[in-house]
């Protein structure tokens, strides 16, 4: 039951883009086409889950016992950067097809604040469904994966909207990013309705 609450809360109620404002740059950047949007969403899901696993263990077993929590920011960003590089090398070797599909998105993910954001969030207390508590490793991984599903959902919904938006004739000053932001605003308003679940 609690697991279900974490999942629903992470995907809908506290959607990472529409409620927490993380990972906006790639969200606006690659959501022009449905195909690139789903590629990016898959790459992000993969990296967020993996990065959370590594940083959670690093925090729990290296930083906290040695009272080095203040090094969290530096340690996490380095681990994430190294991890993304490694994933790139490994994927190239063992699964060229997947590498072809995710390839161009991987280097961009290092600077996606969603990855660092989730990694830092799970080391602190998380609120879901009216409960606030520290997450165990399993719960943290589920939270991370569900969050990235929420990212994918928001990304794919928005890419679909934008493909239609491109066909419309909008005033010159609204062209491009402004109209996209207004569209996300309305999408976020729709997502606010999910707050009732929690």
Partner 1 sequence: MSKFGLVTKGLVKDNPTFVLLLGMCPTLATTTSAMNGLSMGLATLFVLVLSNMAISALAPAVPDKVHIPVYIVVIATFVTVLQFLMQAFVPDIYATLGLFIPLIVVNCIVLGRAEAFANKNSVFDSALDGLGVGLGFTCSLTVLGAVREILGSLSVFGWKIPGTGDGMLAFVMAPGAFLCLGYLMVLFNKFLAKK
Smallest distance, partner 1 to C-beta of residue 21, A: 4
Smaller CB separation from partner 1, 89 or 181: 181
Query: For residue 131, which phi and psi values (nearest 5 degrees)?
Result: -110, 140
Question: In angstroms, how far is CA 18 from the centroid of its own chain?
Answer: 11
Tokens of 30: 């690659």
Task: Answer yes or no whether residue 174 interacts with partner 1 by CB under 8 A.
Answer: yes
Helix (H) or strand (E) holding 44, with range, is helix 34-58
What are the residues whose beta carbons fall under 8 Å from the beta carbon of 103, sequence distance 6 or more?
88, 91
Task: Answer yes or no whether residue 79 interacts with partner 1 by CB under 8 A.
Answer: no
Report how far apart, in Å, the C-alpha atoms of 148 and of each of 93, 96, 105, 144 are.
25, 23, 15, 6
Query: Using the rule CB under 8 A, which residue among 65, 66, 67, 70 binds partner 1?
Result: 70
Report how far apart, in Å, the C-alpha atoms of 83 and of each of 36, 80, 109, 126 are.
22, 5, 11, 25
Query: Using the rule CB under 8 A, which residue among 3, 57, 182, 197 binds partner 1?
Result: 182
Smallest distance, partner 1 to C-beta of residue 136, A: 21
Helix (H) or strand (E) holding 133, with range, is strand 131-133
Task: Tell me if 20 sits within 8 A of 147, measured CB to CB.
Answer: no
Site string for partner 1, 81-110 (x = CB under 8 A): x----------------------------x
Smallest distance, partner 1 to C-beta of residue 181, A: 3
Q: How many residues bind partner 1 (CB under 8 A)?
A: 41
Contact window for partner 1 (CB under 8 A) among 32-40, 74-82, 88-96, 147-155: 74-82
Smallest distance, partner 1 to C-beta of residue 98, A: 24
d(CA 9, CA 16): 10
Task: Answer yes or no whether residue 38 interacts with partner 1 by CB under 8 A.
Answer: no
Binding site for partner 1 (CB under 8 A): 18-25, 28, 70-74, 77-78, 81, 110-113, 116-117, 120-121, 172-174, 177-182, 184-186, 188-189, 191-192
């Amino acid at each position: 039951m609690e697991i279900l609450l974490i999942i629903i809360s992470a995907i809908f109620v506290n959607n990472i883009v529409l409620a927490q404002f993380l990972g906006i740059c790639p969200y606006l950047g690659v959501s022009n086409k449905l195909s690139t949007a789903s590629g990016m969403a898959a790459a992000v899901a993969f990296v967020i889950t993996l990065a959370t696993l590594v940083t959670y263990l690093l925090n729990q077993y290296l930083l906290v016992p040695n009272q080095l929590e203040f090094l969290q920011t530096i340690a996490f960003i380095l681990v994430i950067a190294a991890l993304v590089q490694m994933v790139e090398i490994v994927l190239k070797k063992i699964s060229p097809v997947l590498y072809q599909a995710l390839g161009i998105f991987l280097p961009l993910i290092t600077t996606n604040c969603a990855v660092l954001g989730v990694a830092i969030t799970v080391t602190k207390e998380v609120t879901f469904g009216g409960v606030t508590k520290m997450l165990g490793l399993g719960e943290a991984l589920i939270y991370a994966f569900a969050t990235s599903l929420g990212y994918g959902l928001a990304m794919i919904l928005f890419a679909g909207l934008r493909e239609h938006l491109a066909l419309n004739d909008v005033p010159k000053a609204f062209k491009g990013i402004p109209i996209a932001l207004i569209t996300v605003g309305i999408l976020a308003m729709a997502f606010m309705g999910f707050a009732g679940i929690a």
